[in-house]
Structure 1
Amino acid sequence: MPLLTIRHSTAYRYQQPVSLGEHRIMMRPREAFDQRLLSARLAIDPEPTELRWLHDVFGNSVAIALFDRRADSLVIVSEATLEHAPIAQQHVDVEAYARLFPFTYSAEDMPDLLRSIERQHLDPGRVVDNWARAFVSNDGNTETIALLTSMAMSIKRDFTYVARHEKGTQSPIETLNKRQGTCRDFALLMIEGVRALGFAARFVSGYVYNPSRSEGVVGGGNTHAWVRIFLPGSGWVEFDPTNGIVGNRGLIRVAVARDPYQAIPLSGTWFGLPASFLGMDVTVDVRRADPDEFPSSGLGAVNSRLAGALGK
């Protein structure tokens, strides 16, 4: 079970001091059975007059920072150490009734999944629908996992990854036409594609790392985006169309949302002359932590560290 340390730094630069407004920070990894947070720290310069935490409607941890002074820079650094338990594709289990597509979610699950099944982008020409339907065989023997894996692998194989630092996400139709995009563009395309087939899907923002030197991953050095799809028997399962990953191997969740705009890592306002903004620098570093700092045999010590971290 890898022990990882994540350092996510964002620095805004201004030509002259500006007034800083409220900033919303979503960088703290989510607590779950497959990723256990051992420590977390958020450092902000200049120091905010108020920093409060909340859980949004999806259960993501969000920090709200308020300022009362002018500054010519703003630096926000999130550091976290966690235990990560990779789940591979072969460990994804699906209930018998859902192993072949199509299937219908149970009456107990459907009311809570409906908003994650609804399409969020107009497709009057059924472009996304037709693209998604191409992954369904005509003989009625389409395996659910095979269908979803094929779609993720197809995006990795047939589309070109291009980094883009501007805000926003391409529409799924635009991504299909251009045959290129960022990880968030690919995630949104797959979300709308599987929703067109009746699956419940959500957007995930987080971090990607290389579990072994023999594997190459795309999207490191910044935040990464992928998809979670609800499958009876395993619940929410990760699919990363940028890297062709099924399961959470190499993927660390921070935020889960219905749409990309709900999972922005950092957003805020500032007041000053339009020409004052000089730029923004973002770095993300994921590396293996020193096990001696968090000995797995000392559960009491780990719990003590965890309690202290949650109080920071």
Structure 2
Amino acid sequence: MQTLRIRHRTEYRYNRPLSFGEHRLMFRPRDSHDLRHVSSELSLSPTAEVRWHHDVFSNSIAVAEFKEPSDHLVLESTVVVEHYGLEDTEFPIDIHAQRLPFTYSADEVGDLARTHERHYPDPEDRIVDWANRCLEQGNGETEKTLSAMTQIIREEFEYVTRNEEGTQAPDETLIKQQGTCRDFALLMIEAARTLGLAARFVTGYLYDPNKTETSGLRGAGATHAWTQVFLPGAGWIEYDPTNGIIGGTNLIRVAVTRDPSQAIVVRGTYFGMPEDFMDMQVSVTVEKINP
């Protein structure tokens, strides 16, 4: 177990005072047996009234209503969690699910719903071909196939940062052989669904214990994204194709969704012209502290 402090600060600047619409914030980590929420503080400028609710996936959502105009908007979250990341990459998968393809039980299928349905077009079967390549590399074994997906993306795709909103379509990521952590997570989700697996999108933070450019971890210092796949007998297992991580080590989960479009960390509006917006700065630090 490690105790971690996460500071996430987002600042928007405008060239004149503006009024703001409602903002939807996705900052608070999900409590579970492997991640326990200890404390949290949300600081907003200008001041706002905040209410909390759970979305359809049971993620914690803060909704902020700002009462006064300003030429800047600052959203700062400080959270302390106890993290019990799984380091063992061998999982107790039910015998019938140890090789692909397999069928989820009737009870599981109803609850997994659309997480095992493909969501994106693949007119030239690029995703199908890539998924089958991983299946062949994994000898048809479920664990080895998912490991192959994770490692191939880590080793063969170029990690880039992108300021534009949204996520690349999976076939576009395959064509470009590059993308952000969100792009890589979505590619793996769609490839897993191609093979009949239930998969979902995870947004959260990455703890880099070395905090150096040579640590090999990509995506620290910002929000991070990865994949979960449901394996009978083992449950939802974490796969981070950006870094080749399996099992959740150093991954702090904030929200899980069916699609990346449902996992926007900050979503809101302002009343003004597009040219009123000047810039946005985001900083994220994740540090280990003494309990």
Contact 2:4 2:286 in 1 (8 A): yes
5 Å matches for 1:1-312? 1-48=1-48, 50-137=49-136, 141-211=139-209, 215-291=215-291
Contact 2:46 2:69 in 1 (8 A): no
Identity, in percent, stands at 51
Distance 2:84 2:91 in 1: 14
RMSD over equivalenced CA pairs, Å: 1.5
Q: Deviations over 1:272-311 (max 9, x none)?
A: 13221110000000001232xxxxxxxxxxxxxxxxxxxx
Residues 212, 265 of structure 1: CA spacing in aligned structure 2 closer, same or farther, 3 A cutoff? Answer: same
How many Å apart are 1:91 and its aligned residue?
A: 4.6
The amino acid across from 1:188 in the alignment is L
SS at match of 1:227: strand
Unaligned runs of 5+ in 2: none
Give TM-score scaled by structure 2 length: 0.96
How many Å apart are 1:215 and its aligned residue?
A: 4.7
Contact 1:81 1:289 in 2 (8 A): no
Distance 2:44 2:258 in 1: 29
Contact 1:211 1:249 in 2 (8 A): no
Give TM-score scaled by structure 1 length: 0.90
Return the index of the structure with the highest Cα Rg: 1
Structure 2 match to 1:294: none
Unaligned runs of 5+ in 1: 292-312
How many Å apart are 1:226 and its aligned residue?
A: 0.3
How many Å apart are 1:142 and its aligned residue?
A: 1.9
Distance 2:209 2:93 in 1: 25
Number of aligned positions between the proteins:
289
The amino acid across from 2:72 in the alignment is S
Distance 1:208 1:219 in 2: 7
Residues 212, 221 of structure 1: CA spacing in aligned structure 2 closer, same or farther, 3 A cutoff? Answer: closer
